Amino acid sequence: MKRDALERNQVWLYLAAVVAGLGAGSVAPGLAPSMELLLWPSLALLLYATFTQVPLAHLPAAFRDMRFMSAVLVGNFLVLPVLVWGLTAFVPEDPAVQLGVLLVLLVPCTDWFITFAHQAGGDVRRAIVATPVVLVIQIVLLPLYLWLFMGDGLAVRLSAGRMAAAFLSIIVVPLVLAGLTERWAEQSGVRGERLIQRLGALPVPLLGFVVLLIAGSQVEAVLGSLDLFRGVLAPFVVFLAGAAVCGVVLGRAFSLPPDQARTLLFSFSTRNSFVVLPLALALPPGWEAAGLVIVFQSLIELFGMLLFLWLVPRVLMPFRGT
C-alpha cells in the first residue's frame, strides 16, 4: 500500500492493530514478554523514521514568516496549555491518568498534522518549515509544564533517572540520527531523496505495529481500563473543540489567509502522541494508565481529524467565493 493510501486509512489501521493486539494477548498471554522486548526498538525506529520527515536542517527558514510562526507559538505554547490546565479539573484524580493527559495534550504534532493540513487545503510549505521549531520548543518546555501542573514531587515519584534514560535512547538518539541522515541525503542528491521518501512511508505501519504490541502486552490493563477511557473521553473531545476555536480566533487575530489558518488549526488540534509515548511506557509499575491514555487520545484525535477534514474547508475556514 502506498504512503497516501496508508495515511488516508490510518485510523482504521490503528483500530485493527488494537483489536489484533488484544486478541493475541488474550489467546496467547505468554507472548507478552516478547512483545515488550520488541516494543522499544520499534519505538526507536518509528521516531527515527518520523524525525527524518522533519526538516531539522532548515530551522532558520521558519522565522522568515514571523506572523504565521507567532500564531503557531502563541497558540501551542501559551493558549492551549491554559486550556489543558482547565481540562485537568475534569480528569480522574489518578496521578497516572493526569500525567498521561498532560503528556499528550501539551505537545503539538510534528508529523501527521502536515498530512491533514494538506488534505484540507492548508499551506503545506509553512507546515513543514514550522515543524522543527515546534519540536525543539516542546522538548524544552514539557518538563516546565509538568512541574507547573503536577508539582515538585513529580520527579521523585516517577524515577527521573529512568525517564531520562528513555528520553535519551528513544527520542534524542533517533533525533540525532535523523538529523545526520537528512544532512547526508541533502548531499547525496537523488539517492538521498529516495531514502527520505522511503522512510516517509514507515511511520504509519510502524505506529500500527507499536499499538499492536502495546495492546498485546498490556491486554489486562487495557480491558481493565474501560471506565478510565470513559473518564477521559470528554476532556479529549473538549480539547479538540477548543483547539478548533483557538485556530479560528488566532487565524483572524493574526490576519492569516485561509490556507495558513487551516494549517494553524491542524497544528493546534493534533498532538505528538507517540513522541511522548516512550516516556509514559518508561514509568515505574503502577503508572501503566499513562501510556494507555496516550494511545486512547491518538484514536480519538484521528476520528476528530476525519470530522475536521470536512468541517474546516467547508464551514470554519472556506476560501472566498466557496
pLDDT number for residue 125: 83
CATH number of the domain within which 146 lies: 1.20.1530.20
Banded pLDDT at 62 (limits 50, 70, 90): low
Q: How far is 320 from 322, CA to CA, in rounded Å?
A: 6
> Is 108 a domain residue?
yes
> Is 22 a domain residue?
yes
> Is 316 a domain residue?
no
> Is 318 a domain residue?
no
pLDDT tens digits, one per residue of 3-53? 777 777 777 888 898 889 889 988 998 888 898 889 888 888 988 888 888
pLDDT tens digits, one per residue of 272-289? 987 888 888 888 888 888
Beta-carbon contacts of residue 292 (< 8 Å; ≥ 6 apart): 100, 214, 218, 221, 222, 225, 228, 229
**Which residues span the domain enclosing 17?**
3-311
- Alpha helices (H) in 120-202, listed in sequence order: 124-150, 154-158, 160-166, 173-187, 190-200
> Is 282 a domain residue?
yes
Three-state DSSP class for 108? strand
- Mean of per-residue pLDDT scores for the chain: 86
Q: What is the CB-side half-sphere exposure of residue 211 using CA atoms within 13 A?
A: 26
> Is 320 a domain residue?
no
Q: How far is 177 from 215, CA to CA, in rounded Å?
A: 28
What angle, 0 to 180 degrees and rounded to 10, lies between the N-to-C axes of helices 203-217 and 273-281? Answer: 30
Query: How many domains does the chain fold into?
Result: 1
- What does the angle CA 295 – CA 1 – CA 9 come to, to the nearest 5 degrees? 40
> Is 222 a domain residue?
yes
How far apart, in Å, do the first and last CA atoms of the chain sit?
A: 33
pTM: 0.86
